[in-house]
Amino acid sequence: MNPADIKSVLYTTAQIEERVGELAARISVDYRGEKLIVVGVLKGASIFMADLIRKIDPEVDIVLDFVVVSSYGSAAASSGVVSIKKDLDCDIAGCNVLIVEDILDTGLTLKSLMENLRARGPKSLEVAVLLRKDLGNEPVLKPKYLGMETPNEFLVGYGLDYDERYRSLPYIGILDERVYQ
Ligand code: 5GP
Ligand code: MG
């Protein structure tokens, strides 16, 4: 990639690692001695999920699962309903479930996914989100575990893409408008 595509680095690798460690420490305390199904929302959450789970105390009995969701373009913003393109492999009834997501913008994607999973009768259902856009209004969803509040810019790196690119960057950067204009 062209380094000029990234306007500025918002969070360095070290800053991300420190914050992920803090979230993992809280999760370790909250689920000590319990089984926890960690559900990653592909593809964006994959890097965050991989780092997070390896920092959680092994006394938490972790099982991994994944979903792929698709929102119906801009129509999804009004309907707020996502379709599940790849569903869970596990049955989550009676289990502790933690959804791991990369970024909350309107929060509608996650809200819709949560409603879908809650209907399956988990024992508990919480969310860990690395980033949340500060939109200046009341968020539709308050994740129990939140990494950072970000400015309202288009971010890439550490799993986040633009047109499937930039996911492998080890930091989170603001994409230069020139790339998508
Ligand atoms: P929401 O339903 O919360 O409005 O949308 C969340 C989804 O939009 C995220 O899972 C992510 O795929 C995408 N998204 C929102 N903001 C950004 C961003 O700044 N960068 C990237 N790469 N994706 C984003
Ligand atoms: Mg996503």
Domain of residue 115: give its range. 3-180
The closest-lying atom of ligand 1 relative to the alpha carbon of residue 160 is 22
How much is the mean pLDDT over the chain?
93
Phi, psi for residue 5 in degrees, rounded to 5: -65, -25
Q: How many domains does one find in the chain?
A: 1
The backbone region for 149, taken as left when phi is positive above 0, alpha when psi lies in -120 to 50, beta otherwise, is beta
Q: Model confidence at 76, in pLDDT bands (50, 70, 90)?
A: very low
Identify whether the C-beta of residue 141 lies closer than 8 Å to the C-beta of residue 104.
Answer: yes
Mutate to test the pocket of ligand 1, among 8, 66, 84, 102 (most ligand atoms within 8 A of CB): 102
The separation between CA 177 and the C-alpha centre of its own chain, rounded to angstroms, equals: 23
CATH number for the domain spanning 32: value is: 3.40.50.2020
Q: Which of 13-27, 38-52, 68-82, 153-167 has the lowest mean pLDDT?
A: 68-82
Q: Taking residues 57-72, what's their average pLDDT? A: 92
Measured from the alpha carbon of residue 82, the closest ligand is 1
Catalytic residues, which ones?
105
CA distance 132 to 152: 9
pLDDT digits (tens, 9 = 90+) for 107-164: 988 999 999 999 999 999 999 999 999 877 777 889 999 999 999 999 999 999 999 9
From CA 117, how far away is CA 67, in angstroms rounded? 11
Does the reported pTM lie above 0.85?
Answer: yes
Model confidence pLDDT, tens digit, residues 20-41: 999 999 999 999 999 999 999 9
Secondary structure (H, E, C), 25-36: HHHHHHCCCCEE
For the CA of 105, the nearest ligand = 1
